[in-house]
């Protein structure tokens, strides 16, 4: 890739307007792609820019792995005839806020977000008919919301440059979909589901690896007390198939005999044994929310952080899946990214011990790919970003 293309992001589409093209710009410096499921991270490209007309919110179109991707300019830093562009792409393209009428909110059907620009985001779920979001203070950014969805279940990103059925106006569309990925077979778009990744930390392709955190055994049982009223609570149980259900096998307050509570036989025949439980206080609107409880289970499950570095082109990690995996969607104008959120089994060096986790972040720069696994972050800067962006809620 030697150039990027910029379109005017301030454009408000109408039936008579067309996408305003600003120009193609030659890349003259570093090009870094960076994503993370826990907080907003910007990618960076330096270009030759003599016009100085690129501004934040403009749409950026670029090629990677011979596929077209697009997003939005986040920040512009100019120096003489060169500009360094920080940009977001995919599900991170929108930073507008969503007002919530309650601390959690359901989205049924196939929601999409359109901020009156030519870049749209759509969610398409086959496995479940609805989606829910958690917003502790009643406001949530769209990019934060989409990362909540992606942490909860594996969602592939589909980029397509399409034309609206209402007119001939072209649109940039990013669709997040679980159709036939991660084992689902309810869609018809992909020939075969994607397999979970497996890798060893002593693999010769891995140049360096850092085990920053390995969480304790995942809990299997959870009680959520209502904040401000500990007489009200709901119990939840995780099953062997990964689902979370309401568990009514124990009624009454929990005192100090934790072992007795853990030993109580759960009512569901597929409950995970032996039991490992946790007790937490939840906001009033959330203690009876199965989605809220499920988020807590998932955060606990991937309570680990592992980083590896390997060559940019390797047999394990790629933004785009192998050809033949996506059937009728194997078309020139559609790009599919499947790296972020991909379930992965990581074996420790010289050992049969493994950790089931997910790809939660990556950075690609100067021929090197850094992969981050797990939903834990130990670095102070990421802790601060998580607090500011409210991503890890």
Per-residue pLDDT of the chain (393 residues; tens, 9 = 90+): 689 999 888 766 554 556 788 999 999 977 999 999 999 999 999 999 988 899 999 999 999 988 899 999 999 999 888 999 999 999 999 888 888 776 667 777 778 887 767 788 888 877 665 677 777 777 888 898 889 888 877 888 988 876 655 555 567 888 888 765 544 344 445 555 677 789 999 999 999 988 877 775 577 888 888 888 878 888 888 887 777 888 876 666 655 444 555 556 666 777 777 777 788 888 787 888 887 888 788 767 778 889 999 999 999 999 987 655 555 445 667 888 989 999 898 998 887 878 888 999 999 999 999 999 998 887 654 555 555 555 655
d(CA 338, CA 356): 17
CB-CB neighbours of 198 under 10 Å: 12
End-to-end CA distance of the chain: 37
d(CA 392, CA 144): 9
Q: Report yes or no on whether pTM surpasses 0.85.
A: no
Structural domain spans, the chain:
1-201+310-370+379-393, 221-292
Which two three-digit tokens encode residue 255? 């005192």
Q: Which helix (H) or strand (E) holds 294?
A: helix 290-301
Ranges assigned E (strand) in 185-228: 197-200, 208-214, 221-226
φ, ψ (nearest 5 deg) of residue 266: -70, 155
Exposure of 364 in the CB half-sphere (CA atoms within 13 A): 13
Instruction: For 199-229, give one letter per residue: b (16+ CB within 10 A) or e.
Output: bbbeeeebeebebeebbeebbbbbbbbbeee
Which two three-digit tokens encode residue 342? 């991909």
d(CA 143, CA 69): 17
């Amino acid at each position: 890739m030697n150039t990027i293309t910029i379109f005017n992001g301030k454009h408000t589409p109408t039936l008579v307007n067309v996408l305003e093209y600003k120009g193609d710009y030659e890349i003259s410096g570093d090009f870094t792609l960076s994503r993370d499921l826990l907080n907003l991270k910007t990618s960076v490209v330096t270009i030759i820019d003599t016009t100085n007309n690129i501004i934040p919110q403009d749409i950026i179109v670029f090629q990677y792995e011979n596929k077209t991707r697009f997003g939005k300019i986040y920040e512009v830093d100019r120096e003489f005839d060169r500009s360094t562009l920080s940009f977001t792409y995919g599900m991170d393209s929108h930073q507008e806020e969503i007002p919530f009428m309650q601390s959690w909110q359901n989205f049924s059907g196939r929601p999409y977000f359109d901020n009156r620009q030519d870049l749209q985001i759509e969610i398409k779920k086959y496995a479940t008919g609805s989606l829910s979001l958690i917003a502790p203070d009643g406001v949530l950014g769209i990019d934060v919301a989409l990362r909540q969805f992606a942490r909860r279940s594996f969602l592939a990103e589909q980029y397509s440059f399409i034309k609206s059925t209402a007119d001939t106006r072209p649109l940039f569309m990013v669709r997040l979909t679980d159709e036939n990925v991660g084992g689902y077979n309810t869609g018809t778009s992909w020939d075969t589901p994607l397999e979970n990744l497996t890798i060893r930390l002593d693999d010769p392709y891995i140049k360096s690896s850092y085990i920053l955190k390995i969480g304790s055994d995942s809990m299997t049982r959870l009680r959520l007390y209502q904040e401000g009223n500990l007489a009200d609570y709901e119990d939840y149980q995780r099953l062997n198939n990964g689902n979370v259900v309401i568990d009514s096998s124990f009624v009454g307050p929990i005192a100090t005999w934790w072992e007795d509570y853990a030993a109580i036989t759960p009512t569901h025949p597929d409950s995970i044994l032996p039991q490992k439980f946790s007790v937490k206080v939840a906001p009033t609107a959330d203690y009876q929310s199965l989605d809220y409880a499920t988020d807590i289970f998932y955060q606990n499950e991937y309570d680990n952080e592992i980083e590896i570095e390997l060559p940019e082109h390797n047999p394990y990690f790629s933004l785009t899946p192998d050809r033949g995996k996506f059937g009728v969607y194997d078309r020139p104008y559609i790009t599919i990214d499947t790296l972020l959120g991909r379930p992965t089994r990581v074996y420790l060096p010289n050992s049969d011990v493994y950790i089931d986790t997910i790809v939660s972040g990556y950075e690609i720069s100067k021929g090197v790919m850094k992969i981050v696994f797990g939903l834990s972050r130990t670095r102070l800067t990421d802790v601060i970003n998580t607090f500011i962006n409210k991503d890890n809620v």
